[in-house]
Amino acid sequence: YYNSLIGKIGAESKETQTNYEHSSAMIAQMEKYRDSVSGVSLDEEMVNLVKFQHAYDAAAKLISTIDELLNTVISMV
């Protein structure tokens, strides 16, 4: 009986260890995938920053031109 019990415990221990290693590998793989999906690309962020800066510059130039036009119209009156 004792040998049978020891054998069972050994087999279950080995199965538990195998399951643990498999689960650990799966968790590491999931974390790697999550990081790749949710990570920030610095190149992409820089491209967006440059785009927004150009849009801001264009809007500022438009407002400046409108201001000059209004000043010209007001001075004509």
Distance CA 70, CA 64 (A): 10
pLDDT in tens, 11-69: 999 999 999 999 999 999 999 998 888 877 888 899 999 999 999 999 999 999 999 99
pTM: predicted TM-score of the whole model, two decimal places: 0.49
DSSP letters for 14-62: HHHHHHHHHHHHHHHHHHHHHHHHHPPPHHHHHHHHHHHHHHHHHHHHH
Kind and range of the H or E run holding 41: none
CB neighbours (10 Å) of residue 52? 10
Whole-angstrom Cα distance, residue 17 to residue 25? 12
